[in-house]
Amino acid sequence: MRSRKLSETGDRGRPTTIADVAQLAGVSTGTVSKALNGRGTLRAETRSRVLAAAEQLGFHPNRAAVTLNSGRTYTVGMITTDTIGRFSIPLLMGVEDTLGAGEMSVFLCDARDDRIREQYYLRTLLSRRVDGIIVTGRRSLARPPIGAGLPIPVVYAFTSSTDPEDVSVVPDEAGGAHKAVEHLLAIGRRRIAHITGPEHHHSAVVRASATAERLAAHGLDLVAPPLFGEWSEAWGRHAAKMLHGTEFDAVFCGSDQIARGVADELRASGRRVPDDVALVGFDNWDVMTLACQPPLTSVDMELEQLGRTAAELLLAAINGETPPRRHVHPCRLVIRDSTAAPMPPSPCVPKTTSTQGNRHVGAGRGLHLEGPAGV
């Protein structure tokens, strides 16, 4: 007797169909179509179940036929001015995580801060009939729209658009600074200094202003005016020297590079981190945070998640929906050893006796967990 259950290759003698996928996943054929083509709003669990069923059955939609019928190419362009990739690469990973589930491809174009090159890539992407474009860069300062009256939706990620009608996804840098200050206050620090990047740089100004603002909310001031300079370790070392003679028990830095330089100078001057001075950075760049001694507490802008959000908003626009014009994405504080609270001396614990024989019971530091600040 023939089993009604589908085999992994479908019924013998015929190719697997979308109906087979729907039966195995326990959903309608319409839901399968939405999941495979990245259309509509589906629960993540439903989309994953459909994709798993399609993979199990070896079902792959005819992309040429789908494109012909829908007018879509299932491609998206991503234009960046971040030549180093420090910010665009994690964004791209988040974008691909979302679009890849619908078998959409991403064309990455590096404009290298060149307006002419950027317009060339825009024309190229339009000629390839991409379904939408994501624009990003290495600065969070708002930029002019990439073009007017474009026939496809555009989403700005990390770098916002100056046009309030455009869809932009940006990190809450001020909120990230607030979390850093609240964490320092929570571990008992009150004399806080702030060292950051160039005074003309949007992020440096936002982070410095938010730091002073949050301290003021607690009736406190910075121990000295914010020190503006460069996004570099060398500036961090120099700025830390400038604080000699000033009493401080914490430094919040506008970037991880700066914080690592500060850590080097504090160590050279005989001040211990975090016992004497707690230290916090910004960006959570693992190249810096894990190389810092001790490992650095830092504000994470969650760029991969920001990329996922940008891709979701772009998909919504491609499908004819009207997404919110401005989305401010929260930051997260990753706590490491540079802000660990000073440990009290371990008490002497006497030996205890059990049926297993004598053993020593002593106090230890325990596990140090990375995660959002509990503030």
Half-sphere exposure of 22 (CA within 13 A, CB side): 11
Residue 136, helix vs strand vs coil: strand
301 close to 283: Cβ distance less than 8 angstroms: yes
194 close to 211: Cβ distance less than 8 angstroms: yes
**Partners of 346 in the β-ladder:** none
The DSSP call for residue 339 is: G
**Measured CA distances, 307 to 72, 83, 162, 185 (Å):** 22, 17, 19, 32
pLDDT < 50: residue spans in the chain? 1-12, 64, 68, 343-346, 348-375
109 close to 75: Cβ distance less than 8 angstroms: no
The whole-angstrom separation of Cα 239 and Cα 246 is 12
Q: How many CB atoms lie within 10 A of CB 260?
A: 24
The DSSP call for residue 337 is: G
Nearest to 73 by CA among 19, 150, 127, 31: 127
DSSP string over 145-177? -S-SS-SS-EEEESSPBSSTTSEEEEE-HHHHH
3-state SS of the chain: helix, strand, coil percent to 5? 40, 15, 45
The whole-angstrom separation of Cα 157 and Cα 78 is 10
> What per-residue confidence (pLDDT) applies to 341?
59
The whole-angstrom separation of Cα 153 and Cα 166 is 9
Residue 253, helix vs strand vs coil: strand
81 close to 137: Cβ distance less than 8 angstroms: yes
Q: Any idea what the Cα angle at residue 318 is, between residues 17 and 326, rounded to 5°?
A: 140
H-assigned helices in 218-358: 233-242, 256-268, 286-289, 303-318
Domains of the chain, CATH where assigned: 18-61 (1.10.260.40), 69-171+303-330 (3.40.50.2300), 173-301 (3.40.50.2300)
Residue 190, helix vs strand vs coil: coil
> What per-residue confidence (pLDDT) applies to 40?
64
Torsion over CA: 295, 296, 299, 303 (sign): negative
Strands (E) located in the chain: 75-80, 105-110, 132-136, 154-157, 167-171, 192-196, 227-228, 250-253, 278-282, 297-300, 326-329, 332-334, 352-354, 357-359
The whole-angstrom separation of Cα 110 and Cα 79 is 6
